[in-house]
Structure 1
Amino acid sequence: MNDQNDIPTIGGKSFTPVAINCAAKAGEWIKTKLGSHTSLSLKYSAQDLVTEVDKGAEMMIRNLVQTHFPHHSFLGEEGVQPGPEASDRALQSVKDAEYLWVVDPIDGTTNFVHGFPFFSVSIALAHKGEVIVGVVYDPMRDELFVAEKGKGAYVRGRRMEASGEQTLRDSLLATGFPADPNYALPMNMKGLQALVPQVRNIRSSGSAALHMAYVAAGRLSGFWEYGLNSWDLAAGSLLVTESGGRVTDSKGNPYNLGVRNVAASNGHIHDAFVDELMKAEGSS
């Protein structure tokens, strides 16, 4: 982790350095465990995996956060029972907290399990429901993406800016394939079928947080997926908006921590992007 001293925006209460430190330490430890995890369990479906590394990384992050901010609330993926209903209940129980840390210790566990080097640590801090700090760390590339509300977003200490594509035709999009086979996956496939003929191409690399970071960095024009959780999206949402992009739900409504069906883009293509998703949602 070489980026920590390069970040030019440090919050008055040291929130951002703590988030960076947590992501760096967890990410470096996760990298040492690649190919050597000893347990593998299914959560919500055969595509929703967890290892002892996910749980260990979350515990590490939680302990570090609570050392600095013992009175803050904490919402981590591995502390929540599987399934969308449990996720919604967990968020509802903490949504009114003054300060809430929202953490996915390994976003892209399936990739981690298979040794596919595209996964990340995602850490966000929300103040009264609004994300004010977002950090996504890719340990395999040693890339740190960090944003503070109103202060921009950075990668490797350089200011990020969303891409300039003006039309879907010129756009490179990304999506994921949800673990929920009953609602989210079929809806995502409808969107895929609708958008593939209209865009330059579509990628699916298996980490929503990194896809959002790539939209912020201008590497992708947009990203959508159905059935995600607050810990998948919170940090990435701030990265995108602080880079000049837009984040809404799949119908174009403003992002909040409860959004599960997300559309993120460079902003220029957003209306056309969401229109296509809405048409796909309405198709039989």
Structure 2
Amino acid sequence: MSISLATQYVKEAYIAQLAVKRAALLTRKVSEEHLNEQSIDKQDHSPVTVGDFGSQAIIINAILKNFPGDEVVGEEDSALIKEKKIEDLIYSHVETIQQADAAHDSKLGRLESAEGLCNSIDKGNSKGGKKGRIWALDPIDGTKGFLRGDQYAVCLALIVDGEVKVGVIGCPNLPHSLRDPGSKRGGLFTAIKGYGSYFQDLNEDISYPLNTSSNITVHNEYGLDQARVLEGVEKGHSSHGLQGLIKAKLGISQPSVNLDSQAKYCALSKGDAEIYLRLPTNPNYREKIWDHAAGYLLVNESGGMVTDIYGNDLDFGYGRTLNSQGVIAASKTVHSSIISAIKSIIGENGESLKEYC
């Protein structure tokens, strides 16, 4: 479907894009300074602390300026930075980025002080739920990738009455094509419920309403013999042993691609791979909504499917967590085969799941 200024949620998508881009510029600045060993004092003035808190403050300030009645489920609060007395340090990095991006102040607003920064961070305290307009925010998804100068993402989604309506993900280091190591890096991914998924270079001006962005789709024409699997880098985030058994059962021969963060959803949505497996390492663990909401919509709107490990849809109206185990994202062509393979290993209702956690 074509997108116009009258499209429902198009303004929300545009503000989310601008805010995620501004936050991504901040995180990239902090990461680069950290890697060049010019940054933040190590006594818990870590680049993660500066990047996470600064990113969250920027995005919440922008969202609530435009949609003051909305709520935000954020990952952080300001207790730690007040305890460490580093509000001014974080604000100094934010202010540098605000000055560089001053052309968008009229749309995004501006944090005017360290106190205002802390107040903005603390507005991410929504408990979520099935009623109302609630934004799910992950200011830096993929902490270790961020510290390595590798893959991480700034992720934002709008959930309305429990249903994800808008998703925006900024990936400062993601190649435009994982199949071409020499391709440009930095992508902005956007989805609007019912209107598809889109990609544009993170470093270019954002188009409104998405009219110069590229519509992206998963490879539903690929079978298991052509499918590539996306897996997390960190073993603590997904059961790599169970992943190996599933791939063997499905006869997948393509080498897996390991990426941190929701960048995996982005790569799947634009056809750089066909399967993303996130399998429980603890049967009692429940995923956080901010880790999946934007990517969930991005893959669904690009023609793929996202469910739990039993094939059930994900419920983003349950609260700050999902009331389900694991996540399987894939093209529609192969998704049911993956679920069948999982159940054949762990049981129809996960009776043997503990053995693989």
- Please indicate the TM-score interval, normalised by the length of the shorter structure: 0.7 to 0.9
Matched residue type, 1:268: T
| Residue identity opposite 2:148 in structure 1 | H
Judge which range, 158-167 or 16-25, deviates more: 158-167
| Counterpart Cα distance in 2 of 1:233 and 1:240 | 11
CA distance in 2, matches of 1:233, 1:151: 19
Contact 2:71 2:126 in 1 (8 A): no
1:15 aligns to 2:17 (yes or no): no
Give the 3-state SS of the residue equivalent to 1:58 in structure 2: helix
Cα distance between partner residues in 1 of 2:74 and 2:292: 12
Give the TM-score normalised by the residue count of structure 2: 0.65
Deviations 1:122-154 (A, max 9, x none): 110010010000111112323111110001111
Counterpart mapping for 1:197-216 below 5 A: 198-199=251-252, 200-207=254-261, 209-216=262-269
> Aligned residue for 2:162?
129
2:339 counterpart (271, 274, 281): 274
Write out aligned runs for 1:10-89 (5 A): 11-12=7-8, 14-37=11-34, 38=40, 50-79=48-77
Is the counterpart of residue 112 in structure 1 residue 164 in structure 2?
no
Quick check: 223-232 or 122-131, which moved more?
223-232
Does the Cα contact within 8 Å between 2:234 and 2:260 map onto a contact in 1?
no
Change (3 A) 1:204 1:250: same
- The residue number in structure 1 matching 2:195 is 151
Give runs of aligned pairs for residues 90-105 of structure 1, distance below 5 A.
Answer: 93-105=127-139
The question of whether the paired residues in 2 share the 8 Å contact of 1:147 and 1:153 is answered with: yes
Deviations 1:193-225 (A, max 9, x none): 331572122121111x11111111111101011
Other-structure match for 2:231: 175
Q: Structure 1: any 5+ residue segments left out of the alignment?
A: 1-6, 43-48, 82-89
8 Å CA contact retained: 2:74, 2:125: no
Contact 2:220 2:304 (8 Å CA) reproduced? no
**Matched-pair contact (CA < 8 Å) for 1:191–1:280:** no
Question: 1:111 deviation in Å?
Answer: 0.9
Q: Give unmatched runs, 5+ long, in structure 2.
A: 35-39, 80-123, 174-184, 201-212, 281-286, 317-321
Per the alignment, in what secondary structure is the counterpart of residue 153 of structure 1?
strand
With over 3 angstroms needed to count, the CA separation of the structure-2 counterparts of 1:250 and 1:232, relative to structure 1, is same
TM-align CA RMSD: 2.8
Cα distance per residue 1:206-253 (max 9 Å; x no partner): 11x111111111111010113542111100111111111111111101
User: Using a 3 Å threshold, how does the CA distance of structure 1 residues 94 and 195 change in structure 2: closer, same or farther?
Assistant: same
User: Which moves more between the two structures, 187-196 or 255-264?
Assistant: 187-196
Contact persistence 1:131–1:234 (CA under 8 A): yes
Judge conservation of contact 1:124–1:134 (CA < 8 Å) in 2: yes
Cα distance between partner residues in 2 of 1:61 and 1:109 = 18
Q: Secondary structure at the match of 1:22?
A: helix
Write the distance in 1 (CA, Å) between the matches of 2:161 and 2:334.
Answer: 30
Cα distance in 1, alignment partners of residues 168 and 233 from structure 2: 23
Q: Structure 1 residue 79: deviation in Å?
A: 4.0
For 1:54, give the aligned amino acid. D
Q: Secondary structure at the residue paired with 1:60?
A: helix
Match of 2:99 in 1: none
Q: 1:80 to 1:52 in 2, by over 3 A?
A: closer
Give aligned pairs, total. Answer: 258
Q: Which structure shows the bigger proportion of residues in strand conformation?
A: 1
Residue by residue, what CA displacement relative to the aligned partner does 1:166-209 show, whole Å, maximum 9, x if unpaired? 432321011225675xxx64x443123331572122121111x1
Hey, what's the Cα distance between the residues in 1 that align with 2:292 and 2:62?
A: 21
User: How many Å separate the matches in 2 of 1:265 and 1:164?
Assistant: 9
CA contact (8 A) 1:147 1:238 kept: yes
Shift in Å at residue 35 of structure 1?
3.5
Q: CA deviation at 1:255?
A: 1.9
Looking at structure 2, the residues matched to 274 and 8 of structure 1 have their Cα atoms a distance apart, in angstroms, of 34
**Is this contact kept in 1: 2:197–2:298, CA < 8 A?**
yes
Give the whole-Å Cα distance in 2 for the aligned partners of 1:232 and 1:119.
12
CA contact (8 A) 2:306 2:313 kept: yes
SS in 2 for 1:170: coil
CA contact (8 A) 1:191 1:276 kept: no
Aligned residues of 1:40 and 1:50 also touching (Cα < 8 A): no
Retained in 2: the 8 A contact 1:161–1:217?
A: yes
What's the secondary structure of 2:256's corresponding residue? strand
Cα distance in 2 for partners of 1:230, 1:275 equals: 25
